[in-house]
Amino acid sequence: MRAYRGARFYPVDSAPIDEGVMLVEDGKIVGIGRDIEVPANAEVIDLAGKVVIPGLVDAHSHVGMWGDGEGDASRDGNERPGPITAEVDAIDSVNPHHVSFQSCREGGVTSVMIHPGSGNAVGGLCFAAKTRGEVVDDMVLKAPTGLKGALGENPKRGGEGKDSPKTRMGTAALIRDFFARAEEYGRKKERGKDPDPDLALENGLRVLRGEIPFRVHAHRSDDIATAVRLCEELGIAFNVEHCTDGYMIAPFLAEKNVVAHVGPGLSSRGKVEVANRDERNAALLAEAGVKVCLVTDHPFLDVRYFMAYGGVAQKHGLSFSDTLRALTLSPAESIGVEDRVGSLAPGKDADFLVLAGEPFSYKSPVLSTYIEGVEVYSRIDRRGG
């Protein structure tokens, strides 16, 4: 057993604890509080003056499958051709030795949900993993965790030549058609008619049966409204990825109980669909009552700078506690892994960060990252050589 003692702890789901103690055994948190008795056999780690927060959870990432200076060789995010590639599974594109997992540990991200890209109207299965390991199957936290969908500019760009979609209504029609075929496929199976096996429709059925949500990429407010329209029509669980114009229709999204995965942060406005990007988005959504998760969309925001993105969200009006929650417990809930990660509480995985000071400042770099009680990153002092 180990006792981490003396730090200020931000458990996220309960009040901050000054000069607290956290007990860790077999990769789990077994106790946390101010007046916790430290067993005699426990190894005590003195963290006086430091701050401890849960490991960050990034609900929209492409780590292990995209970018980080590998050029075309690692572009494994968007399967082509065809706008419906519901049969693919992100887990089959992920390389645990990709440098982005080291970046996660440096940036304090201990859990990620990895998505296929947004080039296709239906892109494939998402899954959640811890950011440490040699074999991706051993890293899995939960799989699958959703089916990726995309609206707006990206799927329109994907089609070759005369292929659909060429318009926003074309993309919506493809998605409707896909789920209609999945429903029919399901009916045939129920009637014992054994249709030809179809992996894509099988994954569509998982969404229709409520096993996993549809996670829909949408930036512009009209695309976000289309996501809501489609999913309500189909009666499926969903959330909105990026949600860039969400602040324009925040009360509508609150009324619909939409969960917004807001990001990537620190971004410019390269596409027309992000022309109205506003740094206050997360704050305005939260104020309206929308559940907000901040996301990196790594590699589009290098995951090493996730905390800085939190700082920017806080600067533009998201409260300190909402910011912390948007980086930890809210994404854990959105992924469906809040029983394991996202806060510091007995019974949860010992995934946590030791910071030099209060979060969201350059003065508070991540000193150590722990996953299931194991220190997986320790800050390197790069001065002097």
Partner 1 sequence: MLAIVNAEIVPVVGDPISGGTILVDGGKIVAMGKDPEVPSDARIIDATGRTVTPGIVEAHAHVGISEQGLGSEGSDHNETTDPVTPHMRAIDGINPRDDAFREFREAGITTALVPPGSANLVGGTALVLKCAGEIVDDMVILDPAGMKAALGENPKGAYGKRQNKAPATRMGSAALLREALFAAKEYADKRESAEGGDGDPPSYNAKHEAMIPVIRGEMPLRIHCHRADDIVTAVRISEEFELDYTLEHVTEGQYVVDLLAEHEVRCAVGPTLQHGSKVENRERDFRAPLALAEAGVPMCFTTDHPVIAGQFLPLTAGIAVSWGMDYDLALRAITLASAEHAGVADRVGSLEVGKDADLVIWSGDPLDYTTFADVTIIDGCVVHERQV
Q: According to the binding rule CB under 8 A, does residue 315 interact with partner 1?
A: yes
Which of 266, 287, 288, 319 binds partner 1 (CB under 8 A)? It is 266
Q: According to the binding rule CB under 8 A, does residue 197 interact with partner 1?
A: no
Which of 49, 169, 269, 374 binds partner 1 (CB under 8 A)? It is 269
| Largest CA-CA distance found in the chain, in angstroms, rounded | 72
Residues 6+ apart with CB under 8 A from 191: none
User: Nearest distance from residue 279's CB to partner 1, in Å?
Assistant: 8
Nearer to partner 1, 17 or 355 (CB): 355
Q: According to the binding rule CB under 8 A, does residue 360 interact with partner 1?
A: yes
24 to each of 88, 132, 354, how far by Cα in Å? 38, 18, 14
User: Nearest distance from residue 183's CB to partner 1, in Å?
Assistant: 36
Question: Interacting stretch for partner 1, rule CB under 8 A, among 25-33, 48-56, 68-76, 281-289?
Answer: 68-76
Nearer to partner 1, 157 or 176 (CB): 157
What Rg value do the Cα atoms of the chain yield, rounded? 21
Contact criterion met (CB below 8 Å) for 126 and 150: no
Q: According to the binding rule CB under 8 A, does residue 152 interact with partner 1?
A: no
Q: According to the binding rule CB under 8 A, does residue 248 interact with partner 1?
A: no
Size of the site for partner 1 (CB under 8 A): 41
Length of the chain: 385
User: Nearest distance from residue 66's CB to partner 1, in Å?
Assistant: 9
DSSP letter (8 states) at residue 36: P
Nearer to partner 1, 194 or 381 (CB): 381
Q: According to the binding rule CB under 8 A, does residue 246 interact with partner 1?
A: no
| Interactions with partner 1, residue window 270-299 (CB under 8 A) | 270-272, 274-277, 298-299
DSSP letter (8 states) at residue 172: H
Which of 52, 141, 301, 353 binds partner 1 (CB under 8 A)? It is 301
Q: According to the binding rule CB under 8 A, does residue 41 interact with partner 1?
A: no
User: Nearest distance from residue 304's CB to partner 1, in Å?
Assistant: 7
Cα–Cα distance between 103 and 308 in angstroms, integer?
Answer: 14
What kind and span of H or E run contains 128?
strand 122-130
Q: According to the binding rule CB under 8 A, does residue 267 interact with partner 1?
A: yes
Which of 20, 21, 60, 68 binds partner 1 (CB under 8 A)? It is 68
Nearer to partner 1, 164 or 276 (CB): 276
Secondary structure percentages of the chain, helix, strand, coil, to 5: 30, 25, 45
Cis geometry, peptide bond prior to residue 359 (ω within 30 degrees of 0): no
User: Nearest distance from residue 160's CB to partner 1, in Å?
Assistant: 18
Which of 25, 70, 87, 198 binds partner 1 (CB under 8 A)? It is 70
Residue-wise burial string across 69-105, b where 16 or more C-beta atoms lie within 10 A, e elsewhere: ebeeebebbbbeebbbbbbbbbbebbebebebbbbbb
User: Nearest distance from residue 263's CB to partner 1, in Å?
Assistant: 13
Token output for 347: 């019974």
Q: According to the binding rule CB under 8 A, does residue 75 interact with partner 1?
A: no
Token output for 206: 């998982």
Main-chain phi, psi angles of 21, to 5 degrees: -135, 140
The DSSP secondary structure of 186-230, one letter per residue, reads HHHHHTT--PPP-HHHHHHHHHHTTSS-EEEEE-SHHHHHHHHHH
Contact positions vs partner 1 (CB under 8 A): 67-71, 99, 266-272, 274-277, 298-302, 304-305, 308, 310-312, 314-315, 360-365, 381-385
